[in-house]
Amino acid sequence: MFTGLVQGTGYLRSKGANQLLVTCPHQPWVKTIALGDSVAVDGVCLTVETLVPGGFVVTTSPETLQRTTLERRVNVQVPVNLEPALQVGDRLGGHFVTGHIDDVGTVEEIIQTGESWIIRFGAPTAVANHIVSKGSIAVNGISLTVADCNTEGTWFTVAVIPHSFAETNLQQLHVGHWVNLETDVLSKYVAKFLRTPAPDLHPTSMPTLSPEFLAEHGFG
């Protein structure tokens, strides 16, 4: 579990056989992680398998590579956002982020307004169903608030403050770039509840509760 508050950036290098080396030598928190720990890499929850000086090694599955942008970040000078897993007692300054990417979206527009930025993203239909105005969304692992969106949710905008822009890879984005999207997990449960018929709490097969029934079953 993560908060979407990025703790630093790093770079991806291929180690072969679906293994990736995450280099982040200037991040002091890397010294505190251990084997088996979870780290969100551009919003993707990955498990630390090997510790190396100034970084760590992870293994990615074909599903992860197919559903995310990680392959596009390997062996290029484009940083990835990093966040260690939330610990009990930590402040939850963003929102609950699982690190399970729903799909990828695209950057459609970037507008600087004073010292802030308005960024518009396009979203695939499966993700769009869970995007609402003023709701939460994780873009490349960054907890952001949806400023505006169309009725279908196929596009949405976020307002980015200078700190978030400077400390994440948002500053590297250009129109047409792909980004990892994870919608609010609460919206997914609500959507499932609305799709699933309510259970029959009074099935016709239930026997009538009577003194005779209770006596027959030892409650006399």
Q: How far is CA 166 from the centre of its chain?
A: 20
Task: Quote the pLDDT of residue 93.
Answer: 82
Nearest to 50 by CA among 70, 29, 21, 77: 21
Query: What is the spatial order of strands in the sheet that 55-59 belongs to?
Result: 44-47, 38-41, 80-84, 8-16, 19-23, 55-59, 50-52
Domain ranges across the chain: 8-84, 103-195
Which of the pair, 115 or 138, is modelled with greater confidence? 138
Q: Tens digits of per-residue pLDDT, 150-209?
A: 999 999 999 999 999 999 999 999 999 999 999 999 888 887 777 776 565 555 555 666
Rounded mean pLDDT, 8-13: 96
Mean pLDDT of 108-115: 94
Does the structure show a pLDDT above 90 at 2?
Answer: yes
- Per CATH, 8-84 and 103-195 having the same topology is answered yes
Mean pLDDT of 124-150: 95
Taking residues 14-41, report their average pLDDT: 93
- Amino acid 199: pLDDT: 62
Q: Report d(CA 100, CA 43) in Å as an integer.
A: 8
Which CATH number does the domain 103-195 belong to among 3.10.50.40, 2.40.30.20, 3.30.70.1230, 1.10.3720.10? 2.40.30.20
What is the C-alpha to C-alpha distance for residues 101 and 39, in angstroms, rounded to an integer?
A: 14
pLDDT digit string (tens) for 37-93? 999 999 999 999 999 999 999 999 999 999 999 999 999 989 999 999 988 777 778
Looking at per-residue pLDDT, the higher value among 117 and 86 belongs to 117
Mean pLDDT of 118-134: 94
Q: Is the pLDDT of residue 105 over 60?
A: yes
8-84 has CATH 1.20.58.220 classification: no
Task: Enumerate residues 6+ apart whose C-beta is below 8 A from 146.
Answer: 131, 132, 133, 134, 135, 136, 137, 156, 157, 158
